[in-house]
Structure 1
């Protein structure tokens, strides 16, 4: 009985870890997720076109191209508590300094630093949850944890436009800094590793000798080229191929929803800026529900987690196609379509990241998460300004929705084969 009670307390604490990781994710991404909702205010106050607005989102995602790889390696070597906590603190400090920015260029530079700090939060939170939950509940747990990003978007879309309208855009950076700092403090104070896991053991490669078996053997020296090449060989794995294709297409859709929803509703369907921001709140809320529900489905579906990702791609293509028809010019129909796109075009991340964590080599979960997310960053960086520029050049949103539909259709075609065999038991 005595032995069972500590085990039960440990079992219950994983839900605390899940809550902490989810909150830190939402807090760290709070300001960046609200940029699209503030689009009308930022365009007015800083005299921006759509491409420049999209570039603000890209600036926050540029450094993670390399930062996610570094963060992944750090997570395989050190305690997530300090890696994630330090990154969230960088987000908070840089946003606080950004409130003093003199204009658009200064704001871009601030968001570059924000991206550097955020590089640790995304893979770090995913690894912390994956280490506490087994395969039977990992999809649901990952879905809840990954719901942190759109959850932060829901709160940001509801709060930041109001602050920007009443007090100016600089105050929104102060608000973002305070929220990010709260997330950092919460994670550092409450997170701990599972009892059976130690930093040294977790960071050791699967085929390396233990410290007990060879206490005096020095570690072999490996050149930087060999070290990097060994890790990049993960990209050749069939599971990683599916991860990359689907991730890059669907993260482009997510970026497009974030930067274009409010502008589209305001310009095409004549919805005022305030109500349009509320539609983005509902869209992000649907994404929260999607990340949880779709990940839970992947836990119980016998056909594998990746089939759930394929279903999301089909749903996204259908929604984007409908936006390009006269149906997309109706305010009510357009709002419903964006909620649909939120559920599938944001919700896909739950089962996707669970599939990624289960496909990673033993002892390299952190780096595998960082590598796949770094590849995704290419699309995250390019999509917002590219879609904004396409809108500026053509004077229409139809080419942007069409491009996203084509990219998703290509990814669906390339990765659909073998999707039913994608689920792999975890040792």
Structure 2
């Protein structure tokens, strides 16, 4: 049915708008520091507030979406995030931090529910591609924000950037409320979620995913600051490079989704990416004092690689879930991601400021290596998963 593409489009737009908040705001790190008078580690804490809120609320929103449907979950969450983002424009750093925490608490609904919507409408043979489209919207949303937010912040200040994000979130929530519906015969979950919360495969996948977020957020959080403050590049040029990395990483998510469909395996490609990311982070650390464009030639592709892996883990998590539990499984997998996303910006900023920029990159490389070790004994269970028998034509 053609309607499934409507669901995919709106789900991807919702995901991209949410990503503009938690991944796009680092593009205005210098403006945030100036506006609120923060140090680099402090602005890392501010940016991490969104991810902390998301991490706290992911599993409850997953329960809600599996029980009440993704349309209601995303609409409530989107409107709530819009209110919080608008309120962030009104206060000091403490008020902004609390409001960004609230934006994460509400925005978590999109992460849990939009994946369920896509999972419900697409069969196993094209699910890697469909989830790849949904996941591609995350870095593309971040890239759009990286281009737009510095311009908005320069013209209307940091409050103007928050208001722009609030408006986008509210518009997408309205689109969800009007156009998103479940397919005929969609399975709703019962109140018992105990078994899925104890599934060792999902727990291990979540831990590996959380470790892979460390290089992702080390690279994305520090890219602009590293090139601008550490190497003297103009902030506008650094922001454009940030956007380029997000766009390339976004299309990479689509590509690795198709790759996983072709090989009928999600984890094999994920292992390869973990090793490649680790190598790129190590090379970035070694080129710290090289000519700046040599550094850029490694840092930007490495950042793109660090962005592109997520759809594989998302798809594997939902395919491991029992029928009607895909939002909860996705929320479990993403919880570790957002814990890492909350902790990594301040820790990476602290290491960069008080140890060295190469040490921060090596921290990301080490986490990728540990993730690869965790995935070593894994064999994708795609063929036997109950989710893989479902398809809506």
Structure 1, unpaired ranges of 5+: 1-10, 206-226
Partner of 1:413: 373
2:142 equivalent in structure 1 = 153
Is 1:259 aligned to 2:221, yes or no? yes
Q: 1:422 Cα deviation (Å)?
A: 4.4
CA shift for structure 1 position 257: 2.1
Provide the residue aligned with 2:161 in structure 1: 172
1:292 aligns with 2:273: no
Does structure 2 conserve the Cα–Cα contact (< 8 Å) formed by 1:309 and 1:348? yes
Q: How far apart are 1:117 and its partner, in Å?
A: 0.7
- For residues 25-53 of structure 1, give each alpha carbon's deviation from its aligned partner in whole angstroms, at most 9, with x where no partner exists: 11233233222110111122222111111
Among 96, 111, 119, the alignment partner of 1:122 is: 111
TM norm structure 1? 0.87
Q: Secondary structure at the match of 1:192?
A: coil
Structure 1 counterpart SS, 2:308: coil
Q: Is the 8 A contact 2:215 2:363 kept in 1?
A: no
Q: Is the 8 A contact 1:154 1:281 kept in 2?
A: yes
Match of residue 232, structure 1, among 184, 197, 204: 197
Look up the match of 1:203. 189
Distance change >3 Å, CA 422–CA 316, structure 1 → 2: farther
Q: Give 1:87-126 correspondences, 5 Å limit.
A: 87-101=77-91, 103-126=92-115
Query: What is the root-mean-square deviation of aligned Cα atoms in Å?
Result: 1.7
CA–CA separation in structure 2 for the residues paired with 1:286 and 1:115? 25
Tell me by how many angstroms 1:164 deviates: 1.1
Task: State whether structure 2 residue 142 is matched by structure 1 residue 183.
Answer: no
**Equivalence for 2:2:** 12
C-alpha change, 1:327 and 1:401, in structure 2 (3 Å) is closer
Aligned residues: 386
In the aligned structure 2, how far is the partner of 1:305 from the partner of 1:230? 23
Using structure 2 for the length normalisation, give the TM-score.
0.94
The 4+ residue runs of structure 1 with deviation greater than 6 A are none
Deviation at 1:174, TM superposition (A): 0.7
- CA separation in 2, counterparts of 1:369 and 1:262? 30
> 367-376 or 400-409: which moved more?
367-376
